[in-house]
Amino acid sequence: MTTLAEYMILSGADNRPPMLDKDLYDSWKSRMELYMQNREHRRMILESVEHGPLIWPTIEENEVTGTKKYAELSATKKLQADCDMKAVNIILQGLPTKIYSLVNHHRVAKDLWEKVQLLMQGTSLTKQERECKLYDAFYKFAHIKGESLHQYYLRFTQKINDMNIYNMKLEQFQVNTKFLNSLPPEWSKFVTDVNLVKDLHTTNFDQLYAYLEQYELHSNEVRLMREHNQDPFALVANHQMTPPHFNTYQSSYSNPQFQQQFSPSQSYQYGSTHPI
């Protein structure tokens, strides 16, 4: 059954195949397969990409064996030959100029498909190195200052999706803990609340995001208060806001004549204007 996301990709892929991005090969490969599945005679097109083209039948004439011409093929084999060519064209149309120039001499879809994969992924050792980089990026994943919870969630989703493409499995608890613990300090109270109401072994991080989203306004208020209290210029601002009469009093009190006139050693009796 086609998911909503896949249906949207298929619906938007009627005009031309998706263009390859060298940093998103796995995503492109998945989208290309969906695109091919949406073509007429999709089974034959995918068969050509995955298992190779039609093996053309031979014919023997005057004790000489040769390959049948296209006009001599049966209707079914003609259709497969057409789908072989369609498969090649679909892949080539989805390649940027630099990659296209390296592989456009291929006329077999399977060979072309594998060549593009080799250019993008390299050998199995390169794939292993890429997996190590993905694990490293997962453990180093952190909130970027100024980004919203939604932006944070999208980046985390992309990271997990990249790992899933390589079948790099992580424990549900491990993923959820990383998602929560990488949030900035203003989320600490709400993260504690999540740990109390959600089972991190069974809940997925999409549900955690949906729960936290309702508290984003409050977390922003906490962040603003923290930034205000930690701002070293706030003290200067508070000093500048001191009432003028208070500053005048301080200035006068620092005057030696003022201090002598109102020396603490002099005592006054209530109702009297002269010292005792």
Q: Domain-by-domain residue ranges, the chain?
A: 4-122, 125-229
174-208 as b/e, with b when 16 or more CB fall inside 10 Å?
Answer: ebbebbbeebbebbeebbeebeeeeebeebebeeb
Does the pLDDT at position 168 exceed 60?
yes
**What pLDDT is stored for residue 3 in this prediction?**
47
Distance CA 11, CA 138 (A): 32
List the structure tokens of 155. 């980046």
**What pLDDT is stored for residue 270 in this prediction?**
37
List the structure tokens of 134. 């993905």
pTM for the whole structure = 0.49
- Indicate the range of 20-24, 122-126, 200-204, 227-231 predicted with least confidence: 122-126
Does the pLDDT at position 120 exceed 80?
yes
Distance CA 232, CA 230 (A): 6
Q: Taking Cα atoms as reference points, which of 207, 219, 151, 152 lies closest to residue 176?
A: 207
Collapsed DSSP state (helix, strand, coil) of residue 57 = coil
**What pLDDT is stored for residue 169 in this prediction?**
81
Q: Taking Cα atoms as reference points, which of 165, 179, 158 lies closest to residue 121?
A: 165
Over residues 28-36, mean pLDDT:
91
User: Residue 59 pairs with which residues in a beta bridge?
Assistant: 66
By the 10 Å C-beta count (0-12 exposed, 13-18 middle, 19+ buried), 30 is classed as: middle
Distance CA 205, CA 188 (A): 16
End-to-end CA distance of the chain: 101
Residues 50-93 have pLDDT tens digits of 999 988 888 887 778 888 888 989 999 999 999 999 999 999 99
